[in-house]
Amino acid sequence: MKKIGVWLAILTATVLSLNKGRVLEAKPRGGNEILAVTQEQQKGVSLTVYNQNLGLVKDNREIQFGTGVQEVRFMDVASQINPTTLHLKSLSDPEGLRILEQNYEYDLMNPQKLLEKYVGKKVKVLDKNYYTGEERIVEATLLSTNGGPVFQIDGSIHLGHPGRVILPEIPENLIAKPTLVWLLQNRVSRPQNVEASYLTGGISWKADYVFVLNPKDSRGDLSGWVTVDNKSGASYRDATLKLVAGDIHRAQGREELYSALDRAAKAAVSGTVMREFREEGFFEYHLYTLQGKSTIKDNQTKQLSLLSATDVPVEKQLIYYGAQDYYRNQFGAPVSNQKVGVYLEVANKKENRLGLPLPKGVVRVYKADEGGSLQFVGEDWIDHTPKDEKVKIKMGEAFDVVGERIQKDWRKIAWNIYEVEWEIKLRNHKKEDAQVKIVEPVPGDWEILRSSHSYEKSEAHTLQYLVDVPVDREVKVNYRVRIKF
């Protein structure tokens, strides 16, 4: 009778705790109840996402512990949690709550694992006669699960029995969800506000930009989107969302998890710069805080508006790059298939309706055709770009502007002195004049002996020309250089 009274008391406590939104296991361990804390007790969650497949979760829950030492199961955490980063604190009684022991249980339940736990044990199999429809339950011993279940029934061995296996109970060491198990020491019995913070993999964010050019390629409308990809194994309801942009150094370890999905942003432009995110400098990075709450579900890709700006000035550049190895020997040959690159350059300044830190991401550029339909014209990655810096976007290669480079002469003057002469031909088949920037890398200690056009020594080993090429004309740029190695 005494044992029945104990079990009734435990059952009554379980029912009462369910009414309060918490669950107490009715199975005692060492004389103490095991407290299961679920997402139902969550009072708030804050999620900080880094663009390096990393998230910081701050999970705030209201829990009523018992006094003394107690085992607690903290459930509904991310399946890709790094348990070594966990920090638990009571906001109500910081000094009175201590973790004595912590375990992370991730041996999750599935049919195969359930069967494996019963190898060598008695189970029941529901057998059905498909001719008569009669069902009967037979007792069997599960011998193996490798390649399929093997049963011993009435002294005979059955391979892959067609019946449905019935197990008596769930094994104690299998759980349905990833769970943190703590052995806690608590000194107060009143409900407490507890915050558990941890790092998790499987969640990342990236920025995508859409730039819509005007007909003259001189201005455009820029919109930016944030894409959060959550594969962490947990959902975050009504979360305070923060995004960190910057290159954070991390110690290398085994927590190299998934990559973020690559999603294109959609063009959505308004008249002024409007952001749903508030930006602030944070350490040597930038922090973007979403105004309001957002729910980030597990296995969900969510897009949020980051910025929008109209009539942004842009400079289109045609650039013809040389190659360092042109100067290595005398075997210069025509390079008729070398392309003229097309680039867009945007100054990230306030007067250009920008002037805010731009997180790294992909810029996709569109332009309307004669019928008014937007067409995709190119894309490129940009790195983290502070305000007042320039963004350079490579669009592709020019179709109607052609470049050709020919080595006209190569001489060895002394054992370490050479003279090289180059001719560069530029042809313009567009309907309007074009301006091409020629960038020539020149190694060693060099001096221009002769040049057909004015030039600029833009860097120690870079020669640069800015050449106007009229419609349907060819322009030749010739220069001779002396190089000392």
pLDDT at 235 over 70: yes
Share of the chain above pLDDT 90, in %: 33
Q: Which residue has the tokens 């999620």?
A: 47
In the structure, what pLDDT confidence band is assigned to residue 51 with cuts at 50, 70 and 90? Answer: confident
Cα-to-chain-centroid distance, residue 4: 55
Give the tens place of pLDDT for each residue, 292-320.
888 989 999 988 888 889 999 999 999 99
In the structure, what pLDDT confidence band is assigned to residue 357 with cuts at 50, 70 and 90? Answer: confident
Question: Who's near 169: CB < 8 A, 6+ residues apart?
Answer: none
Closest C-alpha among 63, 20, 60 to residue 237: 60
pLDDT at position 260: 28
* pTM (two decimals): 0.69
In the structure, what pLDDT confidence band is assigned to residue 200 with cuts at 50, 70 and 90? Answer: very high
Helix, strand, coil distribution of the chain in percent, nearest 5:
5, 55, 40
DSSP string over 191-257: -EEEEEEEEESSEEEEEEEEEEE-TTSSEEEEEEEEEEEE-SS--EEEEEEEEEES-------S---
Please write down the HEC assignment for all residues of 394-457. Answer: EEEECCCEEEEEEEEEEEEEECCEEEEEEEEEEEECCCCCEEEEEEEECCCEEEEEEECCCCEE
